[in-house]
Amino acid sequence: MRLFIVILLLVLAGTTPSIASERIESPHFLFVYQDGKKAMAAELARRSETVLKQVCATLGNKADEVGQINVAIYHGADAFNQALAQWGARVEWAAGIAIPSQNQILLRIDAQTRFNIHDIFRHEVSHIALHNAVGGHRIPRWFNEGIAVHQAGERILERWRRTAEASLSDGLIPFETLKTGFPANGLRADLAYAQSTAFVSYLIKLHSWQAIRVLLKHVRNGSGFDASVRRVFGRSLVNLEREWRLEVDRRASWIPFLTGTGILWIIISGLFVLSWAVNRHRTRLRLQAMDEPELDDEYA
C-alpha cells in the first residue's frame, strides 16, 4: 500500500508540478494539496466518506465498488488551469473536474469557490460514482451533469428559472447536441447545466430515483442509454424531451405575469383591501368598548 501511494504521488508530481506532496487519506480517498490548504483538505476528507456513501446509495452502487478516489486541490485559477492542461482538459469556467476513468478529481480553491467547495466536491464525486454505476458505459453528458447537479443540490431553483426564461425565448438547447459535450461559451454552458438539471429533475419527479437506478443497471448490463430509457420509462427520449418542454412552457407562461406590472398592482390592491379590513375591525372594537361600562381599577 505504501509503495502504491509513493508511486501515485510521483505520478501526481509529474502531471501537476505546482502541487505539494502533502496528503490526507481516508478509506476511499487520497487528498493531495498545496501548502496552506491543509484545513480545507482536512475538512473535505472528514466529510468525504459520508458524501461517497450517500451518492452511491442514491445511484444504487457501493463505495467499495468505486475504489480509491484521488483528489488534487489547487490554490487559484492559474495552478488549476495548468493542471487541466496537463490532463488534456480545457474548461475555462470550471471550479472542479472529474476524470472518472482515472478516479481523479481536481478542485480549485479561491475566493470564488471557498464557500461552495463542498457542493463542488459532491458534484465531482457523483461523476465518479455514476461512471462506476454504469460500468464505464457511455451516457449522455446532459444526463451525467444533471445527475451531479441534482445530487449536489447546486442552485436547482435558480437553474429552473434560467431554463424557463430560455423557454420563453425559444432558446433551449436540443439535448441531442448535449450528448457528448457542453458549449465552450460560459453563458451557453450555464444554460446547458440549467436545462440538464431541470430535465433530470423532471424524470426523477415523474418516475422516482428507483427508476433512475433501474435505468443505470440496464446501461451497466450493456443496453444502450436510449434503449434503456425506452425500456424503463415506456417511451423514447425524444418523446420525453417533448413532454418536458411542454411542461416547462406551461410553467414559464407565468413568468411575465409574476415579474410584470400586473402582479405589482394586484399586490398593492391586496394590501389596500387588507389595510381597510384591519382598520374596520379596529373601529368596530373601539365602538364596542365605548358601549361597555368602565371597570374599577381593582378589576382591571
Domain boundary among 106, 133, 160: 133
Q: Quote the pLDDT of residue 36.
A: 73
**Mean pLDDT calculated for residue range 25-47:** 91
Does 280 lie in the same domain as 162? no
Q: Quote the pLDDT of residue 34.
A: 80
Does 20 lie in the same domain as 104? yes
Does 149 lie in the same domain as 94? no
- The 10s digit of each residue's pLDDT in 233-249 is 999 999 999 999 999 99
| 294, pLDDT greater than 80 | no
Does 225 lie in the same domain as 147? yes
Domain boundary among 102, 133, 164: 133
Q: Report residue 101's pLDDT band, with 50, 70 and 90 as the boundaries.
A: very high
Does 122 lie in the same domain as 6? yes
User: Above pLDDT 70, what percent of the chain?
Assistant: 77
Average model confidence (pLDDT) across the chain: 82
Does 78 lie in the same domain as 63? yes
Q: 294 lies in a domain?
A: no
Q: Quote the pLDDT of residue 251.
A: 83
Does 167 lie in the same domain as 270? no
Q: 298 lies in a domain?
A: no
Q: Quote the pLDDT of residue 25.
A: 95
Q: How many domains does the chain have?
A: 3
Domain boundary among 112, 133, 154: 133
- The 10s digit of each residue's pLDDT in 258-292 is 454 445 445 445 555 565 565 555 545 444 443 43
Does 146 lie in the same domain as 238? yes
Range of the domain at 168: 137-253
Q: 93 lies in a domain?
A: yes
Its pTM stands at 0.79
| 103, pLDDT greater than 90 | yes
| 21, pLDDT greater than 80 | no
Q: 296 lies in a domain?
A: no
Does 128 lie in the same domain as 233? no
**Mean pLDDT calculated for residue range 47-76:** 96
Q: 23 lies in a domain?
A: yes
Does 125 lie in the same domain as 143? no
Q: 297 lies in a domain?
A: no
Q: Quote the pLDDT of residue 91.
A: 75
Q: Which CATH number characterizes residue 113's domain?
A: 3.40.30.160
| 183, pLDDT greater than 70 | yes
Q: 92 lies in a domain?
A: yes
Q: Quote the pLDDT of residue 275.
A: 54
Does 188 lie in the same domain as 80? no
Does 146 lie in the same domain as 64? no
Q: Report residue 154's pLDDT band, with 50, 70 and 90 as the boundaries.
A: confident
Q: 183 lies in a domain?
A: yes
Which string of DSSP letters, residue by residue, matches the chain? -HHHHHHHHHHHHHH-TTS-SEEEEETTEEEEE-TT-HHHHHHHHHHHHHHHHHHHHHHT--HHHH--EEEEEEESHHHHHHHHHHTT---TT-SEEEEGGGTEEEEEESTTTTTTHHHHHHHHHHHHHHHHHTTT----HHHHHHHHHHHHT-SHHHHHHHHHHHHHTT-PPPGGGGSS---SSHHHHHHHHHHHHHHHHHHHHHHHHHHHHHHHHHHHTT--HHHHHHHHHSS-HHHHHHHHHHHHHHHHTTHHHHHSHHHHHHHHHHHHHHHHHHHHHHHHHHHHHHHSPPPPGGG-
